[in-house]
Amino acid sequence: MPIRLHANRARGNAAALAGALLTLTATSAIAEDYPRAIAQLESRGAEIVGEFDAPGGMKGYVGEMQGRPMSAFLTADGKHVIIGTLLAEDGTNISQEQVEKLLMEPRFAEAWGQLEDSDWVADGSDDADVVLYTFTDPNCPYCYRFREMADPWIQAGKVQLRHIMVGILKEDSAPKAATILAADDPEKALREHHENYEDGGIEVDRSVVSQTYNDVMANGELMSSLGLQATPSTFYRNPEGKIAMKPGVPNPKDLETMMGGPKP
């Protein structure tokens, strides 16, 4: 079960998750490419990234407001815009589908290169067909659980799980992460941490923490810039080859999708 340290710096662009409900009437300056009502959103700080045909004669728009993804719908009369979630009668979340397609998929595709250039410890064979990047806090019980769930694929040589070490949960999270990154044998350090997690995991080595503490902080900044607030947050390629992200511990069906197939 080889685990390899890859060291570099990474930065990203802002993103997050949310939505709200609001109706606005067009009364001010017009953006050159959008109707007056949509221009109102831009004047309030929204950034529109795409548009689509919505039900009921409406026009849909996807963008960000105050760093949060949003969907907006221009009414058929072209004079009002509604911000929020649009559901079809069968329960399909039209808003979420379009946010993922027009905003998150391009962003995640761009993020993949940033993840590759971040400071990670590779868990699994370099010859594995499937590579995943996961933000890992040494004190995160859900990270530990996810690693346990992924173990059959890792042991079978089918998956390499690249842990981007961060320190966000407890006071000693960052020192523990830095200790792992600074170890003479990072793969052994991470393995031993997982094996002893229920007893507290790796002990902080203050003599080496300063060597990689900034790397841990850079990883945290990358995580934040991608709009992620919790660990684990895992990036993978879906069956269509597109970059996707799964927060938290996946259910069994999602796990098989992320790992590229059934449990070995």
- β-bridge partners, 257: none
Question: CATH 3.40.30.10 residue ranges in the chain?
Answer: 3-12+113-259
13 has a pLDDT exceeding 80: no
| Chain-centre distance for alpha carbon 210 | 27
DSSP H helical ranges for 156-263: 173-182, 186-195, 206-225, 252-259
Task: Please give the pLDDT value at position 229.
Answer: 87
pLDDT tens track for 56-76: 999 999 988 877 888 999 999
Record the pTM: 0.74
CATH code reported for the domain at 22-84: 3.10.450.70
Task: Please give the pLDDT value at position 168.
Answer: 96
Distance, CA of 155 to CA of 251 (rounded, Å): 20
SS3 126: coil
Question: CATH 3.10.450.70 residue ranges in the chain?
Answer: 22-84
pLDDT tens track for 212-241: 999 999 999 999 988 888 999 999 999 988
Greater pLDDT, 107 or 261: 261
CATH code reported for the domain at 3-12+113-259: 3.40.30.10
pLDDT tens track for 207-216: 999 999 999 9
